Amino acid sequence: MSFSRRNFLIATGVAAAGTTVLSACGSGSGSGSSSDKIPSVSGAKTMNIPVGTKADSTGPAPEVKGAVTGGTIYSLDQFDMDHLDPAQIYVSTEGAITRPILRGLTGYKIDEKGGATLVGDVATDAGTSKDGGKTWSFTIKDGIKWEDGTALSMDDVRHTFERLFASFVTEGPRYVQQWLVGGDKYKGPYEGKSLASIAVDGQTITFSLTEARADFNYTLGMPGYGLVSKKQDTKEKYDKRPYSLGPYKIGSRQVGKSLTFVRNEHWDAKTDAIRNAYPDQFVFQFGFEPIASTDRYIADKGNDQYAMSIFNEVAAERIAQVLTNTKLTKRVLTQVDTVTYYWPINTTRITDVKVRQAINWAWPHQQLQTIRGGKATSELATTILSPVTPGYEKFDLYGTDKKPGGDPVKAKALLKEAGKLGQKLVIAYQQSDNAVKQAVAIKNALEAAGFTVVNKQIDKSTFYTQIGKIDNDYDLFAAGWSPDWPGGYSVFYPCWSGKNIGDGRSNYAQLDDASVNKAIDTASTIADTDKANKAWGAIDKQIMELAPVVPDYHSIRNWMHGSKVGNVVYDAGNTCVALTKLYAIK
pLDDT in tens, 32-43: 333 446 777 777
Residue 456: count of CB within 10 angstroms of its CB: 12
Query: What percentage of the chain has pLDDT greater than the value 70?
Result: 92
Least confident of 144-153, 206-215, 408-417, 483-492: 483-492
Peptide bond into 60 cis (omega under 30): yes
Least confident of 131-140, 212-221, 273-282, 409-418: 212-221
The confidence band for 364, taking pLDDT boundaries of 50, 70 and 90, is: very high
Residue 21 has pLDDT above 60, yes or no: no
The confidence band for 341, taking pLDDT boundaries of 50, 70 and 90, is: very high
* Residue 14, CA distances (Å) to 82, 213, 490, 523, 525 in order: 32, 6, 11, 9, 6
Query: What percentage of the chain has pLDDT greater than the value 90?
Result: 74
Please compute the mean of the pLDDT values over residues 65-75 and round it to a whole number.
Answer: 98
Residue 170 has pLDDT above 70, yes or no: yes
Please give the domain boundaries of the chain with CATH numbers for all domains: 336-556 (3.10.105.10)
Residue 106: count of CB within 10 angstroms of its CB: 29
Residue 466 has pLDDT above 90, yes or no: no
* pLDDT score of 48: 57
Distance CA 20, CA 22 (A): 7
Q: What is the mean pLDDT of the chain?
A: 90
Distance CA 569, CA 586 (A): 19
* pLDDT score of 337: 84
pLDDT in tens, 183-237: 999 999 999 999 999 999 999 999 999 998 888 998 999 999 999 999 999 999 9
Residue 503 has pLDDT above 90, yes or no: no
Residue 4 has pLDDT above 50, yes or no: no
pLDDT in tens, 92-116: 899 999 999 999 999 999 987 767 8
Closest CA to 207 of 162, 141, 165, 148: 162
DSSP string, 378-419: EEE-SSSS-TTSTT-----TT-TTT-TT--HHHHHHHHHHHT
Decide if 20 contacts 216 (C-beta within 8 A): no
pLDDT in tens, 395-425: 999 999 999 999 999 999 999 999 999 999 9
pTM to 2 decimal places: 0.81
DSSP string, 134-170: TEEEEEBPSS-B-TTSPBP-HHHHHHHHHGGGSTT--
